[in-house]
Structure 1
């Protein structure tokens, strides 16, 4: 489903409602209690309140995280390289190359205050819903389900970052400013309970008047994602990376949690079997069709009121010479990951493939990557080395190069029909969850509970729809390798890679002590020379301590019952 962001308009409306509530009986003291009662007694205000809460999803649109400007977490990994070296546009590079930038004084990857502010508003809504609202019990359950869906999402981000956080389920708990952290295991269970309640109470589809609101399928998808993360921590963490008594999930819980993930994914697959969801035949269309059945939950935009600037940030500079930004570009590591059209692996050691590396690749490659010689908006991309508008430039040769530092540009999610996005802005959807991810969750979870047939069925359903043959994996280890590959390719630039490497506890090996690369392309005879060049100027750093981001020190100082995560 989609979300049309009308937060500003709703805020003005709600402010107006409050003013009216204050002004209609000026002889009554304007206490907080009176204001709450007045607002909740009007059912229309309930819609405004909960509708405004959905704006939280905008914080993470297009895989972004609120560091610097539009910094994407994929740029902390091996699939995307940000081009800037400066704080702001290049903050993500600074973090990727200097682990010491993350500390309790300013952890950078910080969502604590924003997240808990939203949680409090949601708890206030649930409290007022049952104390004051003049709506039916069925409507109360629906509103609570929406609030808990959003609350579960906010906690999901907090726990991904910190592991052990403070759970504030009841509004009365705020009377005591000192609250201890809960165990990571209890945190995942709490998030799962929110999504499970939402899945039970929400409808399969929302009426047109409530377009953009959470649905049963979206809640089951989030529930599957939650249990997969919890199961991964249980399997892979094993208290190897942090000795805090509250972090980590007991290893014995992994099988049950993987089964929970598989079961939740199965509920979404049932809805797909009934026609609610489906994979798109055209991969590129997923991100441009407003009515794509592949979307379980997405953020929609409508010009001119509600737009974004993804094209301005990521389109090749030839689209708008002198005005494009080119925040991030694909790495050679991602480009190399795409298979050939017949499902075989691409290899630079294969002379035929190396001579024409962009010929005969799988369909997702052509929908995801703009390469040297690619057709784009009535021109041909020229990303060879040189001084032209779109030509390759070495990373750090300029603080804000605004062109590729790898030899490639992003194509996925760009709108090829938007020829003046500086004026028009952008309106393509940001998909928070889609059916492809659910199939990948099902495949991983079923692999882990030794249902290899079920895992293969889910994985092959995705691969076949993407024009590829089924997997050749014959055992659990091979299936996991295939699933990790599919997640890297299928979900590229959607904000999953960093968090996948963290939950698999592979980040400290994949993202540490290494420079990711690009290709310097130069003419050679009748063809081209492809030279592997570093896209980083220093080695990347990811220390094991970063699996649990420290809680901001000022939050510790305000809360006497909360201790810092050990190791920080």
Structure 2
């Protein structure tokens, strides 16, 4: 594909997405619709400078920019790494030790059996969709900076959200692939020839984007009371996670503390994953049509045996403490007609695909993670009492007694263990913990017959290397 075709195809896709599920914006998108109706083939061949009129029209209207952002969140929910159907929850669940896989997708069999090939279609989709969304975020950043049609408050809100999206997606890419390009432009001459950036530099750029977003979003009113759009609290949640992953313990503890009091834990485990949960910091809203609830429930709840695609591993099930209410309330089982075999599945999201009402949204950040972030940061700083307090809050909510761990190493191990049970089948937390803590070899080396030390990174998609040799070399082991 030619450079001009590549960038303009993305422009057309972004403009089309503005129109998708938001009929109330038809008037504001009339010019865009007319251009698309005139012929996509002609539009694709137009050089980038000729798109100026379209861009000005899009970014002079607040409702249209809101629609563009809303569709980025919609696409996160439906595709790529964030999706409950095709993303980290399921794929890294089978890649680690959370889920067994019974489906027939060759791409997912490769992930489950740890023999991933550079041509794996699921991995390619993650890469392409992430950079497509990053392109959309960059287009919004550039567009709102260059328009006089928005108020300062609107500009700050839109740019802050777009910076967060860019940072969030890069945080997932670097965690999965290692060195990746950090793309901050829509210039097709640059995007088609990008080089990979060192992990440490990528992390620095992520934090810089988040800190900029934090300033821009300060004092902005929530777009919705449903916690479905990133605000300052969402930015803080990702900052706390990033600081923990990098090893900035004081910063991680301080950022998590800012959130914990404002998002108290639900006392009832069955309330945690409802759309109105008080501990939710950010969630992706369910579709207005189908499914009305989450893709996670759609994928993970086993409807019949045989017929299961995913099931919780015996290793995870057997690791729960006997009195852990999470094992009782967040896990369910189903047997075949003869009761000869039973499979267990994650039942955090309970509203199935046939519900007539949206009861649950897909949660990406919640305060229980922040409490565990602070617990880990505190113990690494030598604060035994503070770390025990945070750990015990999570344990007590699950019906468990206070931890018996008393030394720094014992408490750290207990916190990492608690993350396994609190955050199972949520956005790949278990995999990222094994990787960042250097435990993947120890744990998965015993659990996965084909495990190799180089499996801590997935391959850069082969077709991307063919298109842009600047992405070479391939990750080791592939």
Compute the TM-score of the two structures, normalised by the length of structure 1: 0.70
Whose Rg is larger? 1
Which residue does 1:327 correspond to in 2?
Answer: 309
Return the alpha-carbon distance in structure 1 between the equivalents of residues 397 and 191 of structure 2.
53
Partner residue of 1:463 out of 362, 370, 395 = 395
Secondary structure of 1:561's counterpart equals helix
The residue that corresponds to 2:240 in the other structure is 224
5 Å matches for 1:134-149? 134-149=149-164
Secondary structure, counterpart of 1:480 in structure 2? helix
Question: What's the CA shift for 1:209?
Answer: 7.9
The equivalent residue for 1:190 is 205
| Contact 2:76/2:83 (8 A) holds in 1 | no
User: In the TM superposition, what is the alpha-carbon distance from 1:266 to its structure 2 partner?
Assistant: 2.0
CA distance in 2, matches of 1:107, 1:230: 30
Report the RMSD for the aligned CA atoms in angstroms. 3.2
Tell me, in whole angstroms, the C-alpha distance in 1 between the residues paired with 2:378 and 2:326: 25
Please, which runs of 5 or more residues in structure 2 have no aligned partner? 1-16, 38-45
Task: Give the CA deviation at 1:427.
Answer: 5.1
Q: 1:369 aligns with which of 321, 328, 331?
A: 331
Tell me the residue number matched to 1:234.
Answer: none
Q: CA deviation at 1:367?
A: 0.6
> Is the CA contact 1:507–1:542 (under 8 Å) kept in the aligned structure 2?
no
The reply to whether residue 556 of structure 1 matches residue 465 of structure 2 is yes
Answer whether contact 1:279 1:294 (CA < 8 A) is retained. yes
Name whichever structure is richer in helix by fraction: 2
Deviation per residue, 1:137-158 (Å, 9 max, x gap): 2321221110011111111111
Q: Secondary structure at the match of 2:470?
A: coil
Deviation at 1:424, TM superposition (A): 5.0
2:54 is the alignment partner of 1:35: yes
Do the aligned residues in 2 keep the contact of 1:310 with 1:426 (CA within 8 Å)?
no
Pairwise CA distance, 1:113: 1.7
Residue 444 of structure 2 is matched in structure 1 by 511
Structure of greater relative contact order (alpha carbons < 8 Å, 6+ residues apart): 1
Task: Report the CA distance shift for 1:453/1:205 in structure 2 as closer, same or farther (over 3 A).
Answer: farther
Q: Matches of 2:231 and 2:193 in 1, distance apart?
A: 35
Shift of 1:501: 1.1
Contact between 1:76 and 1:93, CA under 8 Å: does it hold in 2? no
Paired with 1:209 and 1:63, the residues of 2 have a C-alpha distance of 23
Aligned length: 443
Post-superposition CA distance 1:171-212 (Å, at most 9, x none): 347446322221110101111222222233325861448862
| Unaligned stretches of 5+ residues in structure 1 | 24-28, 232-256, 341-360, 372-380, 393-403, 515-538
Establish whether residue 264 from structure 1 lines up as the match of residue 246 from structure 2: no
- TM-score for both structures, normalised by structure 2: 0.82
Distance 1:469 1:427, change over 3 A: same
C-alpha separation in 2, matches of 1:176 and 1:35:
21
CA contact (8 A) 2:74 2:284 kept: no
User: Secondary structure at 2:371's aligned position in 1?
Assistant: helix
Counterparts of 2:191 and 2:324, CA distance in 1: 57
1:159 pairs, out of 174, 185, 198, with 174
The CA distance in 2 between the partners of 1:470 and 1:564, in whole Å, is 49
- In the other structure, the counterpart of 1:476 is 408
In structure 1, what is the Cα distance between the partners aligned to 2:53 and 2:226? 28
- Give the Cα separation in 1 of the matches to 2:50 and 2:221: 39
Which residue of 380, 388, 392 corresponds with 1:448? 380
Cα distance in 2 for partners of 1:205, 1:213 equals: 11
* Deviation at residue 258 of structure 1 after TM alignment: 2.6
Q: Is the 8 A contact 1:96 1:542 kept in 2?
A: no
> Does residue 104 in structure 1 map to residue 86 in structure 2?
no
Deviation of 1:478 after TM superposition, in Å, equals: 0.6
Counterparts of 1:457 and 1:201, CA distance in 2: 34
Aligned residue number for residue 524 of structure 1: none
